A and B are shown apart, each in its own frame.
Chain A
Amino acid sequence: MHASYNEDVINLLNVPNGQRARLVSIGERLQSKLRQYGLHNGDFVRVLRVAPLGGPLLVGVNGREIALGRVVAEKIMVEVE
């Protein structure tokens, strides 16, 4: 599938607005909780909005829109193409 050497794994906070990224790993405590909102490893997410002043991110995944606080987004690692 994907060769990992030509892709960067960064945390979701560093994904610029509008960019698409694939989820690679989610912090352990968060995993089951995020699943309920339809976020699974391997899914593609798109950062739709970033609230100002350290506010949350709005990401689109599988046709849903989910707001993620920065503490949450920090623990989600993604790779961008």
Chain B
Amino acid sequence: MKIALIGQPNCGKSTLFNQVAGYKAETGNFSGTTVTFTESCVRVAGQVIELVDLPGAYTLESGSPAETQAARYLDSKDVDVIINVADATQLAAALELSLELLSLNKPLILALNMMDEATRLGLKIDGEGLACELGIPVLPLVASKGRGVKGLFLKSLEVGKNSESRRQKAEGRMRNVEVRHVYARELAEKYVTRGERKVTLRDRLDDVLLHPVWGYAILLFVLFLFFQAVYGIGKVTEPPLLKLFDMLTKGALSPFGNATLISEIILGVMQGIAAGVAIVLPYLLPFLFGLGILEDIGYLPRIAFLMDTFMHRIGLHGKAIVPFILGYGCNVPAVMSTRTLEEPRDRYLAAALATLVPCAARLAVVFGLVAYYLGPLAAFGLYLFNLLIIAITGRILSNMMPEDTPGLILEMPPYRVPTFKNVLNKAWFRMREFVVEAWPILIAGSAVLAILNYFDLAYFINWLVRPFTWVMGLPPTVGVPLIFGVLRKELSLIMLSQALGTANFGSALTSTQMVVYATFVMFYLPCLATLAVLRRELGTRAMGVIAGLTVIVALFAALVVRGVMAIV
């Protein structure tokens, strides 16, 4: 039996999905977190169900890519039962989709989610009345706490089995949007009684968080705290981990003697493993955890609201702030999140600019090189410089694109208290991408470089990249770490020590060279994983264009830095 979950963005479909399927889908208090559908087989009451989580859709009629995908899926596949998840606090809006779904003439169940929230707002919903009028089962649900989940699926099984005997009312005339809208509003008025709505916490929070002055002050403070915390945790956890790996490497090498092929490979592999554990994890995990909290609270749309004006300066609008923030963790989800933008032009521009945002891996390079040898202030300056370059690039690119951005349309969700489980699961979910996809490449790349080193093939790579390194005034040996940095950005740091023959970069590079190198690494070629996502999202040609663009930007930025350092 196949059951599809559908509902409007941010109604809690994915939360429900994860309750039954374990952690497979990304959730967040931001419209359009699920941009592709997730399928999973689950067992309910001894029966195996194929469960599909469709991307959030306000309507089945064409809209954003996410909506088109949902509509196409329901049209083409043999779905036995549709579970329509509705936000009980916004029934008038949610019922519009329900009415549209009724016209599909498939077995349908309406799940009123977030009933706890509705009760808190003083809303009383007459589910039975609604069920009678619509001719479909209506069930209450609190997906975040798992309440009503089992009942919902038992009912789905029942409905799926008896689908022939059921008749739904109100079909044909529901094909018209305006009719649906008016009818949905009438239904909501009829079956929802509004109790006393107090001046909610939301209103009071928004008064502060969206305040013309305090809003920005708090935003800066929140982001400052956020990155401070990430850096703080990373700084504490990284050295002991590195020390541990040093010991392990020595232990693993001891049976093999020095400078044999095997010992070189083992060294490479160990360094790859260490890179994953000791550099990416201490920074990336706290980052993803913090982002999950901000997301589930509902702060991201507030940031979009506050930043709309600034984003217009670089030819985008407020919604496009999300890829940028995500980009600081990893460019892969950043590029994926551009799907929530409606216009192809916006997606292209946002994706191109998001790849210029230094991700956690590049953060490691900047910290390991610039902050460590020249002080945190220099690293901070480099980050500001990065923002400036992104702004200039955005300006130039948006001038080259004829049409204007259509502007911001964004739902402001209510604040929600994030649950620990949800945030942790989400961080793990995003983390898994690294562990599964990036880490093996990291280890393999590290081993390959060790082999190249052994056979002295590094000379050839260095010679290929020499025009770039020469222009930037860098030693020829950094060619190899730059090329391997395309595999994974952190390799540009790990392999630098191999390439230079010392882990004490201060003795092999001048301050200028370190800053120029870090600057180039910040901008040039997105890593393999990001390139793959760019290709999937925007096509091969766009991937090529963006990759070329990043190299030009990187070279320009590095030369500017070289010039500035020469003066200072």
Contacts and interface: CB of A to CB of B under 8 A. Distances in A.
Contacts of A71: 404-407
Given A34-B409, A66-B409, A69-B318, A58 B305 contact: yes
Contacts of A65: 411-412
Contact of A67 (B63, B92, B305): B305
Interface in A35-75: 35-38, 40, 49, 51-56, 58, 62-72
A35 B61 CA distance: 11
A69 B59 CA distance: 22
Contacts of B93: 38, 62-64
B266 interface: no
Nearest to B62: A32
Contacts of A54: 309, 312
Interface stretch (B74-82, B144-152, B177-185, B377-385): B177-185
Interface centre among A32, A65, A70 (most CB of B within 10 A): A65
B192 to A, nearest CB: 9
Contact of A37 (B206, B318, B411): B411
A33 interface: yes
Contact of B308 (A29, A56, A63): A56
Given A38-B93, A51-B306, A62-B93, A69 B210 contact: no
A62 B194 CA distance: 13
Chain A interface mostly helix, strand, loop or mixed?
A: mixed
A65 B181 CA distance: 17
Nearest to A72: B407
Contacts of B304: 67
A63 B305 contact: no
A14 B412 CA distance: 22
Given A37-B58, A56-B305, A67 B181 contact: no
Contact of A66 (B212, B306, B317, B412): B412
B206 A49 contact: yes
Contacts of A30: 406
Interface residues of B, number: 36
B410 interface: yes
A78 B177 CA distance: 21
Interface in B369-404: 404
Nearest to B414: A65
Interface residues of A, number: 29
B408 interface: yes
Contacts of B412: 58, 65-67
B342 interface: yes
A42 to B, nearest CB: 9
Contacts of B292: none
A36 B342 CA distance: 12
Interface centre among A29, A36, A58 (most CB of B within 10 A): A36
A56 B312 CA distance: 11
B181 A72 contact: no
Contact of A35 (B59, B305, B405, B408): B59
B90 A35 contact: no
Interface string B435-455: 000000000000000000000
Interface in B179-223: 181, 185, 206, 210, 212
Nearest to B178: A40
Contacts of A53: 309
17 contacts: A32-B61, A32-B63, A36-B67, A37-B58, A49-B210, A52-B309, A56-B318, A62-B92, A63-B90, A67-B411, A68-B407, A69-B312, A69-B317, A69-B407, A71-B405, A72-B406, A72-B408
Interface of B: 58-59, 61, 63, 67, 89-90, 92-93, 96, 177-178, 181, 185, 206, 210, 212, 301, 304-306, 308-309, 312, 317-318, 342, 404-412
Interface of A: 29-30, 32-38, 40, 49, 51-56, 58, 62-72
7 closest A-B pairs by CB:
A69-B407, A69-B408, A36-B58, A71-B407, A52-B212, A65-B412, A72-B407
Given A30-B406, A38-B92, 10 more contacts: A51-B308, A56-B305, A63-B89, A66-B409, A67-B308, A68-B407, A69-B308, A71-B405, A71-B406, A72-B408
